[in-house]
Amino acid sequence: MKRLLNLLVPVVIALALAVSGCAGQGIEDKGPIIVGSKIDTEGALLSQIIILMLRDNDFQVVDKSEFGPTDLVRKAIISGELDIYPEYTGNGAFFFYETESDVWKDAQQGYERVKKLDKEANNIVWLKPAPANNTWAIAVTKDLAETEGLSTLDDFAAYINRGGYVKLAGSVEFVTSPVALPAFQETYGFTLTEEQLVTIPGGYTAQTEKAAAEGTQGANAAMAYGTDGGLSALGLIVLSDPRGA
């Protein structure tokens, strides 16, 4: 699996609507703009930032935060059910079936590629990307990391393959998405059975990380995102991904 850089950018389909509102017309012409997000913590937070910015500039806004998982939100932006939502440039590789292309290994090239493809295919405009790189990650408790000497996913795989106890809390998408747990397992050569997983509805890393920190249902590892702010407070250690899974 090629490494996909996940730069956050807002994406908008109803560009003409936003432009007409910005052209100095009255508030009655400024919207409504339907703002959505995925059901993960980061997407929900970013959608609220977008909503606050629009309202501060006198736009009428319909709040559709936490609209659904990636596939549902993607269909909604294409159909016009949503006008804008935050997305990851790396997902362009899956939207346009280009997961084997090296273009996605470079942040700027990936952004330029998905921007071009989505405009041509769907008249969707990708706005300027945020200066943040986010990706799926696996975090373990500090006690486990220190006791077993775990700092990388190579270490994690070796620990699992020698029979070490692991129970990982993750969302349905993390467990099934080709770029998430399956990619880690394929790249590093380990397999987690259903008995080794605590599958949590939605995409909230706050829930998965808390489950690992508190040992919920025996969890000692969690799905995480690279930009999560709660990892340190919860005493979790993110395992590095030297193979770029």
Q: Determine the pLDDT at residue 13.
A: 43
Q: Determine the pLDDT at residue 7.
A: 61
Q: Determine the pLDDT at residue 6.
A: 58
Please tell me the pTM assigned to this model.
0.64
Q: Determine the pLDDT at residue 179.
A: 81
Per-residue pLDDT for the chain (245 aa), expressed as one digit of tens each? 334 555 666 554 433 333 333 434 444 578 899 999 999 888 999 999 999 999 999 999 999 999 999 999 999 999 999 999 999 998 999 999 998 888 887 778 999 999 999 999 999 999 999 887 777 899 999 999 999 999 999 999 999 999 999 999 999 989 998 889 999 999 999 999 999 999 998 778 999 999 999 999 999 999 998 778 889 999 999 999 998 78
What is the pairing mode between strands 33-38 and 61-68? parallel
Q: Determine the pLDDT at residue 104.
A: 82
d(CA 25, CA 234) in angstroms, rounded, equals: 48
**Closest to 34 (Cα-Cα) out of 8, 67, 7, 9:** 67
Q: Determine the pLDDT at residue 228.
A: 84
DSSP E strands, the chain: 8-12, 33-38, 61-68, 84-88, 125-126, 136-141, 168-171, 197-200, 221-225, 236-238
Beta carbons within 8 Å of 111's beta carbon, 6+ residues apart:
7, 9, 89, 126, 129
Kindly list the structural domains of the chain, giving each domain's residue range(s) and its CATH number in brackets, ordered by start: 8-126 (3.40.190.10), 136-238 (3.40.190.120)
